[in-house]
Amino acid sequence: MDSSSSMSSPAIMVGDSNNNVSSNNRDGALSPTAAASLRGSMEDDVALSVAAGLAKEAALLFQAGKFAECVSVLKQLLHKKEDDPKILHNIAIAEYFQDGCSDPKKLLEELNNVKKRSEALAHASEEQQTESVGSTSRLAVGSKEEESAALTKRANQF
């Protein structure tokens, strides 16, 4: 290794959420894509941290028997993670305890509604994955057919 290569500044490697890696320019500035990716990743980390903190607080309040406060924190958490079945379930349970466990039928109805929402989300997710796999397969088949045609064309030229 010559002395000029040891004098160059090291590149900083930044990975985005898709594990794409880009290096910074020589002047130390990140590319706009890398900077946006890093910013988005940091925002996601902060949001997850806030959500985890709220979930922990809700659990502690529930264990302490402070059900009204627990419901309030869970509703804050629900604003951050809309329609999350786990949070909806926990709200139903905490409200049941808040009411002194007086209406088990209402609890079962709420839990059944949560279950239906969860199943609908799972079904929608499965459909999305199936569509994604189908389009990827069509792309792969198309590219293999094109590659085969190109090879046949080359072979015919000889």
Question: What is the per-residue pLDDT across 94-112, written as a single tens digit (0 to 9) for each?
Answer: 999 999 999 999 999 999 9
45: nearest Cα among 33, 37, 56 = 37
- Who wins on pLDDT, 157 or 55? 55
Residue range(s) defining the domain that contains residue 70: 47-126
For residue 100, tell me if it sits in a domain: yes
| pLDDT of 119 | 95
Q: State the total domains in the chain.
A: 1
Provide the mean pLDDT of the chain: 78
Res. 140 pLDDT band, cuts 50 70 90: low
- Who wins on pLDDT, 117 or 142? 117
For residue 133, tell me if it sits in a domain: no
Report percent pLDDT > 90 for the chain. Answer: 46
Q: Are 99 and 73 contacting, i.e. CB atoms less than 8 angstroms apart?
A: no
For residue 36, tell me if it sits in a domain: no
From residue 19, alpha-carbon distances to 78, 123, 148 in Å are: 29, 28, 31
Lowest mean pLDDT among 2-11, 42-51, 52-61, 98-107: 2-11
DSSP label at 29?
P
| pLDDT of 44 | 80
- Who wins on pLDDT, 116 or 147? 116
For residue 56, tell me if it sits in a domain: yes
Lowest mean pLDDT among 18-32, 39-53, 138-152: 18-32
| pLDDT of 145 | 65
| pLDDT of 13 | 38
Q: Are 57 and 66 contacting, i.e. CB atoms less than 8 angstroms apart?
A: no
Chain CA centroid to CA 4, Å: 44
Q: Which CATH number characterizes residue 116's domain?
A: 1.25.40
For residue 9, tell me if it sits in a domain: no
For residue 121, tell me if it sits in a domain: yes
For residue 58, tell me if it sits in a domain: yes
